[in-house]
C-alpha cells in the first residue's frame, strides 16, 4: 500500500475525481514556464470546494519565499513541492517559516544524482524522485536508483510518467511511501483519464 499524489491538476472535475477515487495529495503547478501551470484564481476555486481530508500541494521552482507564502495563504495550500535547485537550507527555512510540509523533487539519472539527496535528509518531509528515461521513444524507469534513496529515511514518492501498469513494479522494486503521477494518467494535456487515474490509485492502495 502506497500513498498517491496526483499532480498537474488543472480543473475542478479532475481534482474531485482524484479525491473521490482516494488520492491522498493533489498537486497544482505555479511554475511560470511550466506547461502544467494553473492560475491562483483557479486553485482558490478548486481547493475551496474540496473536502478537507485531501492535501493540496503547491508546486514551485526557485520561487521567492514571500511569494510562496502569499500563494499558500490565498489558495489554502497545505504542503509545497520544490522542483528547482532549492538548497537544503532554503527547504528547511521554508518548512519552518511557512508551517507546511515540503516535498523536494529530483530527476535522478545516475548514482551521483542520488548521492546529493543525503544533504536534504532532515530538511524536507518527502522526496519526489523522477527515475524515468527514454529508450528510443519508450519511457522506462530506473527503479533501482529510487530504491537506494529509500535508505535515507525520507519518505519517497516515485515518479516520472508512471502509468497504472507500472505501479506494481515500482512498489515491488522501491517499496516507496508513495507514487506521484501526472503524464502517465492523462488523456489530453491538463486533462486526466478517469480510468487510468482509478487504476493507478487502486494499484497503489493495494486494491487491485
Ligand X SMILES: O=C(O)c1ccccc1NCC(=O)[C@H](O)[C@H](O)COP(=O)(O)O
Provide the binding-site residues for ligand X, judged by CB under 6 A: 7, 27, 29, 31, 34, 36, 59, 61, 83, 105, 128, 130, 159-162, 180-184
3-state secondary structure of 179: strand
Pick the closest to residue 132 from 114, 149, 145, 115 (CA basis): 145
**Rounded least distance, CB 74 to ligand X, Å:** 20
**Rounded least distance, CB 112 to ligand X, Å:** 19
In the bound state with ligand X, the residue whose beta carbon lies nearer, of 37 and 202, is 37
Query: Which secondary structure element, helix H or strand E, spans residue 82, and what is its range?
Result: strand 79-82
φ, ψ at 64 (rounded to 5°):
-75, 140
In the bound state with ligand X, the residue whose beta carbon lies nearer, of 128 and 170, is 128
**Rounded least distance, CB 181 to ligand X, Å:** 5
**Rounded least distance, CB 204 to ligand X, Å:** 13
In the bound state with ligand X, the residue whose beta carbon lies nearer, of 58 and 184, is 184
Radius of gyration of the chain (CA): 16
In the bound state with ligand X, the residue whose beta carbon lies nearer, of 47 and 180, is 180
Q: Which cell numbers in the block locate residue 175?
A: 517499496
In the bound state with ligand X, the residue whose beta carbon lies nearer, of 7 and 94, is 7
Contact 10, 182 (CB under 8 A): no
Contact 149, 179 (CB under 8 A): no
Q: Which cell numbers in the block locate residue 59?
A: 508546486
Q: Strand ranges (DSSP E) for the chain?
A: 3-6, 25-29, 55-60, 79-82, 101-107, 126-130, 132-135, 138-141, 156-159, 178-181, 186-188, 191-192
**Rounded least distance, CB 143 to ligand X, Å:** 14
Amino acid at each position: 500500500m502506497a500513498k498517491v499524489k496526483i499532480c498537474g491538476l488543472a480543473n475542478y472535475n479532475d481534482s474531485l475525481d482524484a479525491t473521490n477515487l482516494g488520492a491522498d495529495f493533489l498537486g497544482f503547478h505555479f511554475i511560470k514556464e511550466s506547461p502544467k501551470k494553473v492560475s491562483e484564481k483557479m486553485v482558490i476555486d478548486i481547493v475551496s470546494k474540496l473536502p478537507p481530508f485531501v492535501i493540496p500541494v503547491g508546486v514551485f521552482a526557485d520561487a521567492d519565499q514571500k511569494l510562496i507564502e502569499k500563494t499558500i495563504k490565498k489558495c489554502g495550500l497545505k504542503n509545497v513541492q520544490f522542483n528547482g535547485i532549492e538548497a537544503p537550507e532554503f527547504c528547511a527555512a521554508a518548512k519552518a517559516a511557512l508551517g507546511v510540509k515540503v516535498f523536494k523533487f529530483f530527476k535522478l539519472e545516475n548514482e551521483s544524482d542520488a548521492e546529493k539527496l543525503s544533504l536534504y535528509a532532515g530538511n524536507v518531509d518527502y522526496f519526489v524522485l523522477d527515475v524515468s528515461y527514454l529508450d528510443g521513444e519508450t519511457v522506462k524507469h530506473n527503479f533501482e536508483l529510487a530504491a537506494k534513496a529509500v535508505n535515507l529515511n525520507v519518505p519517497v514518492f516515485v515518479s516520472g510518467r508512471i502509468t497504472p501498469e507500472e505501479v506494481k513494479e515500482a512498489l515491488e522494486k522501491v517499496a516507496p511511501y508513495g507514487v506521484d503521477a501526472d503524464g502517465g494518467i492523462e488523456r489530453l494535456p491538463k486533462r486526466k483519464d478517469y480510468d487510468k487515474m482509478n487504476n493507478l490509485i487502486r494499484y497503489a492502495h493495494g486494491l487491485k
